[in-house]
């Protein structure tokens, strides 16, 4: 009888162990890469190259098994490229500005980036009206504070 009790208790104990789910190992946990890009370019061609490089970076991360989480924060003279009033953009830059806006739209539609944000501070001095921001762009009161918040959430700050 004692022997049967010992075997029964052992079986119950082992059954409890077998039903426990193992802790996920670092190798099986999903990898996530968080990056917040601080974009201040006034020149269109370097900005286009940077945006293309952001997209290449995302593709390389996906190929390496990462889930990229990318934020683009526009400040300073880059603010001209997140708004739709082309009269504020130099005539020579308008075609490139339209290309930049097309890239921003495509990035949002294809989930290349999770957020495109525009700092409110430089708008008034550049005569940019908040209502003229692209629909894909989120207006934030202060771009530096927004970037610091992203850093608190584990995003790497990147100033290309």
Question: Could you report the per-residue pLDDT of 63-115, keeping only the tens digit for each?
Answer: 999 999 999 999 999 999 999 999 999 999 999 999 999 999 999 998 889 99
pLDDT of residue 53: 96
Identify the burial level of 98 via C-beta atoms within 10 angstroms of its C-beta, where 0-12 means exposed, 13-18 middle and 19 or more buried: middle
| Residue that the structure tokens 């426990």 belong to | 20
pLDDT of residue 14: 38
Give residue 139's pLDDT band: very low, low, confident or very high (50, 70, 90): very high
Mean residue pLDDT across the chain: 87
By percentage, how much of the chain surpasses pLDDT 90? 79
- C-beta contacts of 50-54 below 8 A and 24+ residues apart: 50/160, 51/100, 51/103, 51/104, 51/107, 52/103, 53/160, 54/107, 54/112, 54/113, 54/160
| Spatial separation of the C-alpha atoms in residues 86 and 69, rounded to whole Å | 30
Q: Is the pLDDT of residue 28 over 80?
A: no
Contact 35, 71 (CB under 8 A): yes
- For 143, the enclosing helix (H) or strand (E) is helix 143-152
| Spatial separation of the C-alpha atoms in residues 110 and 9, rounded to whole Å | 56
| Greater pLDDT, 106 or 6 | 106
pLDDT of residue 27: 52
Identify the burial level of 112 via C-beta atoms within 10 angstroms of its C-beta, where 0-12 means exposed, 13-18 middle and 19 or more buried: buried
Tell me the pLDDT tens digit for each residue of 29-51: 479 999 999 999 999 999 999 99
Contact 116, 148 (CB under 8 A): no
């Amino acid at each position: 009888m004692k022997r049967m009790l010992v075997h029964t208790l052992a079986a119950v104990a082992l059954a409890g162990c077998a039903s426990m789910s193992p802790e996920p190992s670092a190798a099986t946990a999903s990898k996530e890469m968080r990056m917040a890009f601080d974009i201040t370019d006034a020149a269109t061609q370097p900005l286009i190259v940077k945006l293309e490089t952001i997209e290449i970076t995302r593709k390389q991360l996906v190929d390496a098994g990462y889930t990229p989480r990318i934020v683009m924060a526009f400040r300073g003279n880059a603010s001209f490229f997140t708004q739709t009033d082309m009269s504020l953009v130099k005539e020579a830059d308008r075609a490139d500005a339209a290309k930049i806006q097309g890239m921003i739209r495509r990035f949002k539609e294809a989930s290349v980036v999770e957020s495109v944000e525009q700092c409110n501070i430089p708008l008034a001095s550049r005569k940019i009206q908040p209502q003229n921001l692209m629909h894909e762009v989120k207006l934030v009161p202060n771009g530096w504070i927004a970037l610091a918040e992203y850093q608190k959430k584990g995003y790497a700050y990147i100033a290309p």
